[in-house]
A and B are shown apart, each in its own frame.
Chain A
Amino acid sequence: MSSWKRKDLTGLDELDADEITFLLDTARAFKGVGKRSLKKVPALRGKTLVNFFVEPSTRTRTSFEIAAMRLSADVVNISATASSLQKGETLKDTALNLQALQADIIVLRHSSPGSSRFLAERLESSIINAGDGAHEHPTQGLLDIFTIREKFGRIEGLNVSIVGDILFSRVARSNIFGLLKLGAKVTLVGPSTLVPKSFEKLGVRVIHRIDDVLAEADVVNLLRIQHERQRKEYFPGLGEYVALFGLTKARAAKLKPSCLIMHPGPINRGIEIDSDVADGAQSVILEQVTNGIAVRMAVLYSCAGGAGVPS
């Protein structure tokens, strides 16, 4: 049963429910590999993977690197500072060079929405989107959905609240697209500047009072909030954000005991999430990180057509 025919993963918006389920099921099969003493399968042996990160990232790049190594691929990391883009070479030319260097898989992190798709349409290599501007971060969306499905055994009918800077969040978009396709009820929570009402056209609910969602939520996914850089006109300051939207101890106490607390990391303790809540029993933040490896193994394996998936 293979409902996967794609060479690339550029976003969850273009996948159907069967394709998403296929990747989640494949990830479940790969998760066992990480529990072995010998954490390696030969699925991508002889394949070359380039982590091409034009925007800084440690967490996602490392996760892809570990995933690729566990599949026995050879891995090269290229960062923005070392890349020719700094010298004025276009993204297209840089990518064509990577293909000429016989990269089978290019994992791209880039500030421009659509950049992964841009390469996917022009290269024979598999392109995996590791974040394209504010557009999508599909493997993060998949690992969040994987974690939820692992806990609840399903996605359909669950109330998932995503809290924070939705407007600029690729993580939020991939979650929204994936969760809706699998039948979840998605609520976006945050300041009206960062969560405009027009998001409802995507099929979600928009709420500006976090207290209104706490009792019903099966999952609360808190996004990292930034104020220091370009968000100054969007909300007055972090203090007011914490007061209005932070998952404080008092708010966490109103959650159902079964409600999962998630965060794509890196967390700001005391800002979007109280420090004790982040470490509490309902938090699955570190499980998300672990699941990220299995999900990325599944994505790399499915797109790059390896062999030797563990049964």
Chain B
Amino acid sequence: MKKITRIVNGRVIDPANRRDESADLWIANGQITTAQVGEATETIDASGLVVAPGLIDIHVHLREPGQSHKETIASGTRAAAAGGFTTIVAMPNTTPPADSAATITWIKEKAAREACVNVLCTGAISKGLKGEELAPFGSLFQAGVVALTDDGHCIQNHEIMRRAVEYARMFGLTVMDHCQDYSIVGDGIMHEGEWSLRLGLPGWPRAGEEMIVARNIMLAELCDSPIHCQHISSSGSVRLIREARARGVKISGEVCAHHIALTDATLAAFDTNFKMNPPLRTQEDIDAIIKGIADGTLTILCSDHAPHASYEKEVEIDHAPFGITGLETQFAIFHDVLVHQREAIDLPRLIALFTSEPAALLKLDRGTLGIGAPADIVLIDPRLDWTFDKDQSASLSKNTPFHGHNWRGRAVRTIVRGETVWSLPT
């Protein structure tokens, strides 16, 4: 008998189709369908819950191939499902880097076997992520990448970046950039300010990000082609992007949850779970970023999920790798801070930032509950107060600064192509 699922009593929020209403949602053949297809074989009660398109995270490190001691496609996608994400975009700084069609194909085949949510790939901008020669965008595109980035690295040579953006345009691929000027940042570890002076740690000044954001604005304008600025951390970057977008420049920016939840003061105990790149900054930056999200300057929310083994993180702070996990915590943090505490945006806009916005940026056929769309759905309880326990995390790695933190709101059930891949244990 054909499986027909009916999700009842929920509040359907589907920004791509401008829907926010109490309605039932029908699923057949793994697709969203109309109500008339037949008798439901499965009924899901969504009383008190929001029914939304499955969330999309365009900035995830899945660590395969080559770093499976940190994370695997299997464990990383389980963590994604537990966070309400049905589609995640993997960064290319693997071992080897994803700078060839062969590696992309390997990832896609492994994901087809092991992933419980959709895994999309980015290709490297430069061969070996070295910032010197362009990777083969044409064959990467044919292999199915959805964007190009050297994430974790930043192309310092403006001419190479210019040609990358121009060449990517031929394939309709967005170039995403980790904005960091190496000569200014040097061996910087944390935000340059009062706390870096107090702790004697090398500073990573705002200008190190803003210079490259400004560069990207100029190149997006020169090439009339999109550049997406990853993990914006600085107030000045928000201002630059706002001004450029007002002029019609094809520039966009994304925000990680930790950059609106934590300040540089949290480094006081030298805990490496507060070390990430770009670094945690000040309340002024947090306020500017939240304002940027509220006024439409910053259109993408993400985790920069960056798992590392405990033995790699539990070292001297200047030796520790940058990055923290985030797939399971980010939605709750963004919801708690942006919607609940600060009332900067409403719940439908929050969902748009996780669905229709990333889908539009990368031209994905996801992030919608339109008839015929893949039945990737998340059920969200916006009133649930909960506490994050890293030991319950599905990620292989536990490098999180959020152990024991409380938030309001979270995903409670994640559905991919009509199948429930995760639900909150009761």
Chain A residues within CB distance 8 Å of chain B: 13, 90-92, 110-115, 117-118, 132-136, 167-168, 170, 173, 196, 198-199, 201-202
Q: In the complex, what's the smallest C-beta–C-beta distance from A260 to chain B, in angstroms?
A: 25
Q: Which of B200, B269, B311, B314 contacts A170 (CB 8 A)?
A: B200
Collect the chain B residues with CB atoms within 8 Å of residue A132's CB.
200
B344 an interface residue at 8 Å Cβ cutoff? no
Pair count A-B, CB < 8 A: 58
Stretch at the interface among B109-117, B128-136, B293-301, B316-324: B316-324
Query: Which 6 residue pairs of A and B lie closest in terms of their CB atoms, listed nearest first?
Result: A114-B270, A134-B200, A112-B316, A135-B200, A201-B194, A113-B200
B201 an interface residue at 8 Å Cβ cutoff? yes
In the bound assembly, the distance between CA atoms of A13 and B314 in angstroms comes to 23
Collect the chain A residues with CB atoms within 8 Å of residue B197's CB.
167, 196, 198-199, 201-202
User: Are A136's CB and B200's CB within 8 A?
Assistant: yes
User: Are B270's CB and A91's CB within 8 A?
Assistant: no
Given that A113-B199, A115-B316 are known contacts, is A90 also in contact with B311, CB under 8 Å in the complex? yes
Q: In the complex, what's the smallest C-beta–C-beta distance from A192 to chain B, in angstroms?
A: 14
User: Are B193's CB and A198's CB within 8 A?
Assistant: yes
Q: Which of A114, A168, A201 contacts B316 (CB 8 A)?
A: A114
> B270 — nearest CB in chain A belongs to which residue?
A114
User: Are A173's CB and B198's CB within 8 A?
Assistant: yes
Given A133-B201, A202-B197; 17 other pairs, CB 8 A cutoff: A13-B198, A91-B316, A92-B315, A110-B316, A113-B317, A117-B269, A117-B270, A118-B270, A118-B316, A133-B318, A196-B197, A198-B194, A198-B197, A199-B197, A201-B193, A201-B197, A202-B198
B interface size (C-beta, 8 A): 16
Collect the chain A residues with CB atoms within 8 Å of residue B316's CB.
91, 110, 112, 114-115, 118
User: Are A90's CB and B315's CB within 8 A?
Assistant: yes
Collect the chain A residues with CB atoms within 8 Å of residue B194's CB.
198, 201-202
Collect the chain B residues with CB atoms within 8 Å of residue A110's CB.
316
User: Are B318's CB and A91's CB within 8 A?
Assistant: no
Quick one: CB contact mask for B347-377 with A, threshold 8 Å, 1 for yes?
0000000000000000000000000000000
In the bound assembly, the distance between CA atoms of A110 and B193 in angstroms comes to 23
In the bound assembly, the distance between CA atoms of A91 and B198 in angstroms comes to 23
Given that A117-B269, A198-B194 are known contacts, is A112 also in contact with B318, CB under 8 Å in the complex? yes
Q: In the complex, what's the smallest C-beta–C-beta distance from B342 to chain A, in angstroms?
A: 26
